Amino acid sequence: MVVLNKIYTKTGDDGTTALGSGERRRKSDLRIEAYGTVDETNSVVGLIRLQTGQSAPEVDQSLGRIQNDLFDLGADLATPETGEDLGYEPLRITDAQVTAIEQAIDVLNAELKPLRSFVLPGGSPAAAYLHLARTVSRRAERLMVELAAREQINPAAVRYMNRLSDYFFVASRYLNEKGEQDVLWVPGQNR
């Protein structure tokens, strides 16, 4: 249970923050960068949902689930896998969450024609924001992969972020009139 009575604590004034384990790390630490970028991804999803609420309820419902999953992912990353007893069961991304996002991708992708070119970010406002979310989530994934090379992290968390950027891409096409409004790359067009 989360209880936030006071928002500022002044404990981070020295440039550190607490992990779920109680350990303090510099705010520039790779683990903090990783879950901070997951949080940034979630903020972009909030912007997307301003566009999808009424117009695309099937996508909006998935995005709501994704926002909750991203908080789970942040909690996962904020609690290092040390093997020590923390006095509670740390929240971890599960394979079921990865499978759910794969299924959401498959549902949307089934209504899209195959691509014959790369897609440029654009089309509808929601699609453009989905491309922004895709690129921010890819940055989070890169940070997580780098973190995994240095510290143990949940492999399902990395898989989830990998699938998430795929979901954002497919959803962007779906919201571009099922690909009809996609802005396609034309190689060498401006030479």
Of 13-22, 48-57, 149-158, minimum mean pLDDT range: 13-22
Helix axes 125-150, 57-78, angle to 10 degrees: 20
- Summarize pLDDT for 107-127 with one digit per residue, the tens: 999 999 999 899 999 999 999
DSSP 54: T
Which pairing describes strands 119-120 and 183-184: parallel, antiparallel, or unpaired? Answer: antiparallel
- Summarize pLDDT for 77-91 with one digit per residue, the tens: 999 987 777 778 889
Please choose, from the candidates 129, 169, 157, the residue with its C-alpha nearest in 3D space to the C-alpha of residue 41. 129
- Cα–Cα separations (whole angstroms), residue 32 to 70, 140, 152: 14, 11, 14
Please indicate, yes or no, whether the overall pTM of this predicted structure exceeds 0.85.
Answer: yes
pLDDT at 106: 98
- Would the pLDDT of 57 be above 70? yes
Across-strand partners of 82? none
- Would the pLDDT of 1 be above 70? no
